[in-house]
Amino acid sequence: MNLERFKITKAAEIERLRGQALPPPLGTARPRFIAPRAEGERIRVVAEYKRASPSRGVICEHHTPEAIAEVYTRGGASAISVLTEEVYFKGHLDFLRRISARTALPLLRKDFIFDEAQVHETAATPVSALLLIVALTPDAAHLRGLRALAEAFGMTAVVEVFDERELDVARDAGASVIQVNNRNLETLVVDASVTRRLVSCRLDGECWIAASGYETRAQIDALANYDAVLVGTALMASANPCEALKELTR
């Protein structure tokens, strides 16, 4: 149900993109996104700029993209995830440009991306990576095409999975950066056992990111065999997101 409404919401936007000239891709090099961590390195934190969500409604709307870029940079984030979906997350594509102007950190575009036109649109922005969700693109051939197109533009394709079947699809599509989401996108329920269970399937050479439900350093330290953790709501809902982030990255 939820996945279908997300796709329906994007339909008009995709038709608009298909009907206009493709924007030229960014002409400069993009910062490298998250890489597998070396032995002894601590898990990196990808801090997220998220004004609202389907499960929480409005979280925080008073932090501007410029302010949050500086806050997350000072707080020790390794990258910044930016929600650009407008209806459910109160985001905007221009947030990417505004945040990039205030930080050298790599950016991840998070949206419901399942069409080539959206990848072309993303390539014209200063992001280092974009999110592809297996639940939205369950056909491995289609997902492979989107991943390859993103990589052709110099972007990393972060491929999100929720269970073992989706992990198989991600691998069939050639994904090497895997984001395991504890949140079921159909029900929006968070189950922290998902990241604990799936990590046993990790293969050498892959980069793994855990997402949804993380609020404390103790939770992050328990994520053995993950390279990074994505934290959004806990930071955006905090009275002092910089100090909250420093606690996670200390």
Pairwise pLDDT comparison (167 vs 24), residue with the higher score: 167
137-170 pLDDT, tens digit per residue, is 999 999 999 999 999 999 999 999 999 999 999 9
Query: Average pLDDT, stretch 173-186?
Result: 93
For domain 2-10+42-249, the CATH class is alpha beta
For the entire predicted model, the pTM comes to 0.94
The percent of residues in the chain predicted with pLDDT above 90, rounded, is 76
41-51 pLDDT, tens digit per residue, is 889 999 999 99
Write a three-state SS string for the chain.
Answer: CHHHHHHHHHHHHHHHHHCCCCCCCCCCCCCCCCCCCCCCCCCEEEEEECCEECCCEECCCCCCHHHHHHHHHHHCCCEEEEECCCCCCCCCCHHHHHHHCCCCCCEEEECCCCCHHHHHHHHCCCCCEEEEECCCCCCHHHHHHHHHHHHHCCCEEEEEECCHHHHHHHHHCCCCEEEEECECCCCCCECCHHHHHHHHHCCCCCEEEEECCCCCHHHHHCCCCCCEEEECHHHHCCCCHHHHHHHHHC
Query: Average pLDDT, stretch 79-107?
Result: 96
Query: Average pLDDT, stretch 204-208?
Result: 94
Residue 127, pLDDT > 90, answer yes
Residue 1, pLDDT score: 61
Residue 137, pLDDT score: 95
Residue 188, pLDDT score: 87
Query: Average pLDDT, stretch 27-31?
Result: 87
